[in-house]
Amino acid sequence: MLRLPSQWLSRSLQAARPISTQPTRRAPAAPLGPGKERVFVVGVGMTKFSKPLGSDGPTYTDMAKEAVSNALSDARLPYEAIEAANVGYVFGSSTRGQRSLYEMGLSGIPISNCNNNCSTGSTALFQSRGLVAGGLARCTLALGVEKMQKGALEVGAEENPNPLDKHVLGMAKCVGGPPDAPIAPWLFAHAGREHSKRYGTTKTQYARVAEKNHRHSVNNPNAQFQDEYTLDQILGSKEICHPLTKLQCSPTSDGAAAVVLANEEFVKVNGLQDKAVEIRGISMTTDVSTVFDDPIQLIGYDMAVKAADEAYQQAGLTVADVNVVELHDCFSTNELIMYEALGLCNKGEGGSLVDSGNNTYGGRYVVNPSGGLISKGHPLGATGLAQCTELTWQLRGEADKRQVSGASVGLQHNLGLGGAAVVTLYTKYQ
């Protein structure tokens, strides 16, 4: 959870320039095409996610080595097969990506570092996939690693302007007052309140999202939390910012995840057809001109809609083809609202989707079989690649007790405020 110092907020509320919500007139841009090469996930690996352990836990290099080693072992490849790498993390010094991969060897390959807030892992995936799709490399690596501090995330007062200043000020303008809780739950709680005001969504429906994800996590050995809670326990846990209680919020976490990508020729030459899951469509979008218009837009609704539309178009698929979803449930309110942005239901029907059971086993979709961010954990740089890892296991039929019967098309949504949304569609190798 993100917390801003009071002196920064006070200064910003008094002195910030007015926020323009007027649309910028531009010719519509076509989404990025699929590139000249088909791209396949051929190896995935991750660490168990855990609460931040500081000096008592593994270092970021330890976690990175474990995740990359697992992914390479899964792909039956040596590190020398990797031709380029992109490494994502939010907290840490420059070139942490190089230091992480130097544990695997010094091969001289290009290594880039990226930070896109909570969508960092999927940004590394987007970049590594682009190298393969564009014909610049045959086999690449995406790594996400994060070692976090306990409690709400602090943003230093010295940053001016702060990257989230317009989002905080926009929400304060929408709701008629400054934050009265840590920034992240405050933003997502008010989006939930707005959804309730418009569509009658109840706090019980939001809590049912968390109940589902905690229940799913029981079968995930990599999850930070693997406990099942009743609906009453979730509603009765400590309130963070109405309607969100503690058990509806993702925790700070340590962890790493890695993905090996390859083109079709590489897959065939190395006999990796049994491992290959195709990235059929992927889109990364940033905030659009409507972002400051209301609380739901401020948490990335429209950029998620745009990313989803572009990914479906690239893939030649529709939401009707999807059966398993890993969705960015940083808070239960966000999961419910994003059902609508991703097309899993019509606008205003997220609460009805929850009540119908069509977001869990036996329903139309299984959303967050991993337990999601709420239970699996949320080490910011690793989250998107852990989502990719889970969907790869699901489409291969390797998800053990979490396995979604008949899983053939996976949908991934990863969100970073400030902002970026990455939506990815996966299918089995054909």
Q: Which active-site residues does the annotation give?
A: 118, 378
DSSP letter at 319 equals G
- What residues contact residue 37 under an 8 Å CB cut-off, 6+ apart? 132, 133, 134, 135, 263, 264
DSSP string, 27-61: PPPPPP---SS-EEEEEEEEPPPB---GGGS--HH
Residue type, 327: L
For 99, other C-beta atoms within 10 Å of its C-beta total 17
Cα–Cα distances (Å) from 272 to 265, 275, 408, in that order, read: 10, 5, 18
Q: Kindly state the helix (H) or strand (E) to which residue 172 belongs, with its residue range.
A: helix 165-175
Q: How many CA atoms lie within 13 A of 245 on its CB side?
A: 19
C-alpha closest to that of 351 among 233, 198, 187: 198
Report the distance separating Cα 417 and Cα 350, nearest Å: 21
Scanning the structure block, which residue is given the tokens 């009071």?
Answer: 6
Q: What are phi and psi of 320, to 5 degrees?
A: -65, -20
Report the distance separating Cα 120 and Cα 279, nearest Å: 18
Please calculate the CA angle 414-416-422 and round it to the nearest 5 degrees: 35
Cα–Cα distances (Å) from 364 to 7, 270, 312, 341, in that order, read: 48, 36, 18, 17
Burial class (CB in 10 A: 0-12, 13-18, 19+), 317: middle
